[in-house]
Chain A
């Protein structure tokens, strides 16, 4: 048997995976060309839920803005995150290469509570 022999299912899995890695690599390169600075981040295990950069993966609890305080509020705030299913994407700076002191959440992390 060749050491490279795999079942068709495994080959399909690898082929699918290869496409994913390829698109992630292209995205990584495109981010590198931007003047703004991007980070793909995951909170550590068992971090408390924070609606400013996390969202429930089941989308059962949405983050809303408190009309009185103007702050983001989520019923899950403070609860322990069991798993970060997909990381958050954060951005510092802008397309002119300025304002690096400002951080913006481009995509919230999907977490399992």
Chain B
């Protein structure tokens, strides 16, 4: 079957119309999608505000955090065969927080406590400085200077949290300096820092 020139022009007209309609529909779809995204964002924001927490549940969550840190230390650093290779940063923490660390590290029972204390200290500093929610040391210091009894809380201005990469690296470097003895291969601490930044969602 042969198509005439006039026929082709006739056929092109509905195609053009369909094409225009399609473009229009696509445009409408994009507009609806944008509206839907905005609505979803509003819903997510309204649902993201957690309810008021009672004292018991807050205490329970901190106890769970303590237990997780304890488990982490016990599982990975319990062995007394492990030689502790103290980085300058970790040594500084130990000197300031646990002056008798040398003696305590030699006893298996108190050794675990020292390591838990270091991890607990790093976590405490992160809470104190608001680093988990992206509030830097500067704002943390400002907040502290305003007094502990201040009613306003800088965290409330934040709509979402972002795990602080520097803080995670600090904890990871704590992880990194507690290594096996030289019989096992060990990468330099920088590797662990790179690794942790790769793991961090904010990287």
Give 14 pairs: A residue, B residue, CB < 8 Å, sorted on A. Answer: A3-B194, A4-B191, A4-B198, A7-B184, A13-B175, A19-B68, A24-B123, A26-B161, A29-B160, A33-B49, A33-B50, A82-B104, A85-B117, A86-B120
Interface of B is mostly: helix
- Whether B187 contacts A6 by the Cβ 8 Å rule is yes
Q: Once the chains are docked, how many angstroms separate the CA of A42 from the CA of B144? A: 15
**Total contacting residues, chain A, CB less than 8 A:** 60
Cβ of B127: which chain A residues have Cβ within 8 Å of it? 24, 28, 31, 39-40, 87
Interface of A is mostly: mixed
Q: Is B15 an interface residue (CB 8 A)?
A: no
Point out the residue from B55, B151, B192 that lies within 8 Å of A100, measured CB to CB.
Answer: B151
Q: Once the chains are docked, how many angstroms separate the CA of A85 from the CA of B133? A: 24
Residues of A bordering B, CB below 8 Å: 3-7, 9-35, 37-42, 45-46, 57, 82-87, 89, 91-93, 95, 97, 100-101, 104, 106-107, 110, 112
Q: Once the chains are docked, how many angstroms separate the CA of A7 from the CA of B164? A: 25
Q: Once the chains are docked, how many angstroms separate the CA of A4 from the CA of B110? A: 33
- Whether B97 contacts A20 by the Cβ 8 Å rule is no
Cβ of B43: which chain A residues have Cβ within 8 Å of it? none
On chain B, which size bracket covers the interface? 35 or more
Nearest CB of chain A from residue B168's CB, rounded to whole Å:
5
Cβ of A18: which chain B residues have Cβ within 8 Å of it? 168, 196, 199-200
